[in-house]
Amino acid sequence: MTVTTSTARPQARGILVVCTGNVCRSPMVERLLQAALDQRYGAGLVPVSSAGTGALVGSAMDERSAELLAQLGGDDEGFTARAITEPIVAGAQLVLTATRDHRASVVRLHPRAMRRSFTVRELGLALAAVPEQELPTADDPLERLTEVAELGNRLRGAHLPATPEDLDLTDPFRQPDEVYRELRGQVEAALPGLLRGLVGPAR
């Protein structure tokens, strides 16, 4: 009897967040989104992970970023940095990046991810501005995640900030405390829009 082995990829699932070292920006966004999605849908039902284009592989989260995360209600326990790979990108339904350069790196790794890859601030801004009746409506959270990616792709370029740099999250690594505070403000500003799409409008 001949045994055949399938080489097909598993179905894409969850959210991937990408920055450079995978110790500051992407783990902060990862853990905040995971907490909100766990609260809305149940623990781990919508998995959120992160990776870095120049990852400090095996490192814990940057100490000052972890402090900011704690201030925002998140937890860095057990976090370990990892490097981004093409299978990791291919396995995500939605990719959120710290900057436009990271988004370009993601697409170079896996061109088919272009339609579902956005910077954190880009998608947050777009979802904050869309009328409520146009938001995703799927009850299943993974179906809703696909709808968010499709909506974001349709809205791409429709809600641009004053400058292209305003689509990027500031890199605080080894920078003064005020740069970390700037990052916190950017993440706090983007989260409501992201969650409006991912879990529904706040009531």
pTM of the model: 0.93
Tokens describing residue 96: 């959120």
Least confident of 14-23, 109-118, 153-162: 153-162
H/E stretch holding 129 = helix 120-129
Q: How confident is the model at residue 202 (pLDDT cuts 50, 70, 90)?
A: low
3-class state of residue 182 by DSSP: helix
H/E stretch holding 19 = strand 15-19
To the nearest 10°, report the CA torsion of 155, 159, 164, 165.
Answer: -100
> Does residue 72 contact residue 78 with C-beta atoms inside 8 Å?
no
pLDDT at position 69 over 80 = yes
pLDDT at position 42 over 60 = yes
User: Quick one: what percent of the chain has pLDDT higher than 70?
Assistant: 94
What pLDDT, in 10s, does the model give residues 79-116?
A: 999 999 999 999 999 999 999 999 999 999 999 999 99
H/E stretch holding 18 = strand 15-19
What pLDDT score was predicted for residue 200? 83
What's the CA gap between 145 and 187, in Å, rounded?
Answer: 20
> Does residue 157 contact residue 122 with C-beta atoms inside 8 Å?
no
What pLDDT, in 10s, does the model give residues 114-145?
A: 999 999 999 999 999 999 999 999 999 999 99
Please, what's the b/e burial string for 41-71 (b: 16 or more CB within 10 A of its CB; e: otherwise)?
A: beeeebbbbbbbbebbeeeebbebbbebbee
Full strand arrangement of the beta sheet holding 15-19? 48-52, 15-19, 94-97, 117-119
What's the CA gap between 168 and 44, in Å, rounded?
Answer: 27
